[in-house]
Structure 1
Amino acid sequence: MIINRYLFKEIALSFAATLLVLTLIIVGNTFVRLLADASTGNLPTDLVGNLLWFGSLKQLIRLIPVALLIGMMLAFSRLYRDSEMAALRAAGFAPRHFYRAIFSFVLPLTLLLAVLVIFVSPWLETNNAELRREINERPEAAGIPSGEFVSSGTAERNYTALAEAIDTSHTVMERFFIRVKDGSNEVLIWARSAVLFIDSGSGERVLQISDGYRYESDPEHGGMTVIRFGEHSIRIPLRDYTSSSSLASMPIEELWQQTDNPARAELQWRIAIIVSAPLLALLAFPLSYTAPRQGRYGKIGVAILIYAVYASILASVRGMMERGDFPQLPGLWWIHLLVLGLAFWLLRKYYGKPS
C-alpha cells in the first residue's frame, strides 16, 4: 500500500505539472490569436475574454490524454534514473503491481474525462457557437466600423457603407448609408437605423434597415426612383460567414439516435477521446523503460511521436467516415486495438511473459 501511494503521488504530480504547462501554452497561443483578430477589427474586444475561456476549456479536455502519457513517462523515467525501478523489481514488483497503482489514478481520471466529453464539451461548443454568431452579427465583424466609409467588391459589383454611430449593444447602426452598384444599376439607401443578422435558414448576412429612403437609378429611361420605407431588408456579402457544425454541440443522447455517417463519426470521436486515456496509460509504462546509462528523456520524444501518429490517424479516419469513404465498423476501433497491441508487445519485450 505504501508503494502504491508513492507511485500514485508521482504519477499525479507529473500529470498535473504536464497539464499545467500544456494549458499555459494553449491559453497563450489562443490569446495571441484572438488579440491579433481584435487588433485588426475582426473581433470585438469585449468578447475576447469569453472566447479565450471557452476555447481554452475545449482544448484542455483534449489535452488530458496526452498530458497523462507525458506525465507518466516523466514519472517512470525519474524512477529509472534514480534506480528506484530496479529496487522495486528486485523486491518482487511485477508489471501487474505497477498497473494497480497506475489505474488507481487513471480510472477516476477517465471517469472525469468522460463527464467532460459527454456533458461539458457540447455545452462549450454551444456557447462558443453562440459567441461566434454574435460576433458575425455585429457591424464590426462585417467590416462596418463606426464613423468610417468602407468599400468592397469589384469595379462592376461593389458597395460603399457608412454607419455614423453604433449603439452600446454593438448591434444597431444609427444613421446608416449604403451605396450598392451592380453593373449599370445603382442603389442608394439612407436610414435612421440598421441591424445586421444571420439568416438561420441560408446562413447569409441580412441587413435590416428601418425608417429610410431608397434611391434607385433608371439607366434605360434616365432619372431616379425614390421610395420611402418603414422596413427594408437586403442581402449583402459583407465577408463570408460559415456556421459551425451542430454535431459537436449535440447532446450524446440525441447523437446516439442519429444513424448518418457524420453523426456516427462524431460519436466514435467522443468515445475515442475517453478511451485514449487508459490506452495511453497502458502504453506509457512499458514505453518508459530505460536501460542503464540511457538518457532520461530519450523515450519522451518517441511517446510524443506515437501520440501524434495515433491522433492523426484518428482524425483522418474520422474525416473519411464523415464523407462515407470508410465504414462505421470497424470505424475508429481498429486504431485503439493497434495501440493496445503495441502496449502488450512492449510489455512482453521489456518484462517478458506475465508470471
Structure 2
Amino acid sequence: MIINRYLFKEIALSFAATLLVLTLIIVGNTFVRLLADASSGNLPADLVGNLLWFGSLKQLIRLIPVALLIGMMLAFSRLYRDSEMAALRAAGFAPRHFYRAIFSFVLPLTLLLAVLVIVVSPWLESNNADLRREINERPEAAGIPPGEFVSSGTAERNYTALAESIDPSRTVMERFFIRAQDGAKEVLIWAKSAVLFIDSGSGERVLQISDGYRYESDPEQGGMTIIRFGEHSIRIPLRNYSASNSLAAVPILELWSQTDNASQAELQWRVAVIISAPLLALLAFPLSYTAPRQGRYGKIAVAILIYALYASLLATVRGMMERGDFPLLPGLWWIHLLVLGLAFWLLHKYYGKPA
C-alpha cells in the first residue's frame, strides 16, 4: 500500500504539472489570437474574456490524455534515473503491481474525462456557438465601426455604410446611412436606427432598418423613387458569414439515435477521447523503460511522436467517415486496437510474460 501511494503521488504530481504547462501554453496562444482579432476590429473587445474562457476549457478537455501520457513518462523516467525502478523490480514488483497503482489514478480520471466529454463539452460548444452568433450580429463584426464610412465590393456591385453611433448594448446602430450599387442601379437609405441579425433559415446577415427613407434611382427613365418606411430589411454581404450547425454541441444520446455518417463519426470521436486516457496509460509504463546510461528524455520524444500519429490517424479517419469514404465499422476502433497491441508488445519485450 505504501508503494501504491508513492507511485500514485508521483503520477498525479507529474500529470498535474504537465497539464498546467500545456494549459498555460494553449491559453496564451488563444489569448494572443483573440487579442489580435479584437485589435483589428474583427472581434468585440468586451467578448474576448468569454471566448477565452470557453476556448480554454474546450482545449483543456482535449489535453488530458496527452498530459497523462507525458506526465507518466516523466514520473517513470525519474524512477529509472534514480534507480528506484530497479530496486522495486528487485523487491519482486511485477508489471501488475505497477498497473494497480497506475489505474488507481487513471480510472477516476477517465470517469471525470467521460463526464467532461459527454456533459460539459457539448455545453461549451453550444455556448460558444451562441457567443459566435452574437459576435456576428454585432456591427463591429460586420465591419461597421461607429462614426466611420466603410466600403466593400467591386466596381459594379458595392456598398458604403455609416453608423453615427452604436447604443450601449452594442447592437443598435443609430442614424444609419447606406449606399448600395448594383450595376447602374443605385439605392440610398437613411434611417434613425438599424439592427444587424442572422437569418436562421439562410444564415445570411440581414439589416433591419427602422424609421427612414429609401432613395432609388431609375436609370431607364432617369428619375428617382423616394419611399418613407417604418421598417425595412435588406440582405447585404457585409462580410462572409457561414452558419455552422456543429455536431459537437449535440447531446450524446441524440447522436446515438442518428444513423448518418457525420453523427456516428462524432459519436466515435467522443468515445475515442475518453478511452484514449486508459490506453495511453497502458502504453506509458512499458514505453518509459530506460536501460542503464540511456538518456532520460529520449523516450518522451518517442511518446509524443506516437501520440501525434495516434491523434492524426483518429482525425483523418474521422473526416473520411464523415464524408462516407470509410466504413463506420471498424470506424475508429482499429486505431485503438493498434495502440493496445503496441502496449502489450512493449510490455512483453521489456518485461517478458506478464506476471
Normalised to the residue count of structure 2, the TM-score between the two structures is: 0.99
Q: 1:267-302 CA deviation, whole Å, 9 max, x = no partner?
A: 000000000000000000000000000111110000
Any residues of structure 2 matched to 1:185-224 within 5 Å, and which?
A: 185-224=185-224
Q: CA offset at residue 318 of structure 1?
A: 0.4
- Equivalence for 1:265: 265
- Equivalence for 1:170: 170
Q: CA offset at residue 246 of structure 1?
A: 3.0
AA aligned opposite 2:328:
Q
AA aligned opposite 1:311:
A
Q: Secondary structure at the match of 2:152?
A: strand
- Equivalence for 2:310: 310
Distance in 1 between the 2:161 and 2:215 partners? 15
Residue 342 (1) aligns with residue 342 (2): yes
- Equivalence for 2:16: 16
AA aligned opposite 1:50:
N
- Equivalence for 1:324: 324
Structure 1 runs not aligned, ≥5 long: none
Q: CA RMSD in A?
A: 0.5
Residue 85 (1) aligns with residue 85 (2): yes
Residue 298 (1) aligns with residue 298 (2): yes
Q: Secondary structure at the match of 2:271?
A: helix
- Equivalence for 2:42: 42
AA aligned opposite 1:226:
I
AA aligned opposite 1:218:
D
Q: 1:191-242 CA deviation, whole Å, 9 max, x = no partner?
A: 0000000011111000000011000000000011000111110110011112
Q: 1:237-266 CA deviation, whole Å, 9 max, x = no partner?
A: 011112233311011111111110000000
Distance in 2 between the 1:186 and 1:317 partners? 51
AA aligned opposite 2:40:
T
Q: Secondary structure at the match of 1:248?
A: helix
- Equivalence for 2:226: 226
Residue 280 (1) aligns with residue 280 (2): yes
Q: 1:43-92 CA deviation, whole Å, 9 max, x = no partner?
A: 00000000000000000000000000000000000000000000000000
- Equivalence for 1:131: 131
Structure 2 runs not aligned, ≥5 long: none
Residue 99 (1) aligns with residue 70 (2): no
Q: CA offset at residue 353 of structure 1?
A: 1.1
Q: Percent identity?
A: 90
Q: 1:124-179 CA deviation, whole Å, 9 max, x = no partner?
A: 00000000000000000000000000000011100000000000000000000000
Distance in 2 between the 1:282 and 1:236 partners? 55
AA aligned opposite 1:115:
V
Distance in 2 between the 1:10 and 1:242 partners? 48
Q: Secondary structure at the match of 2:145?
A: coil
Distance in 1 between the 2:225 and 2:39 partners? 41
Q: Secondary structure at the match of 2:291?
A: coil
Q: Secondary structure at the match of 1:117?
A: helix
Q: CA offset at residue 354 of structure 1?
A: 1.8
Q: 1:98-145 CA deviation, whole Å, 9 max, x = no partner?
A: 000000000000000000000000000000000000000000000000
Normalised to the residue count of structure 1, the TM-score between the two structures is: 0.99
Distance in 2 between the 1:354 and 1:233 partners? 72
Extract structure 1 runs of 4+ deviating beyond 6 A. none
AA aligned opposite 2:178:
I
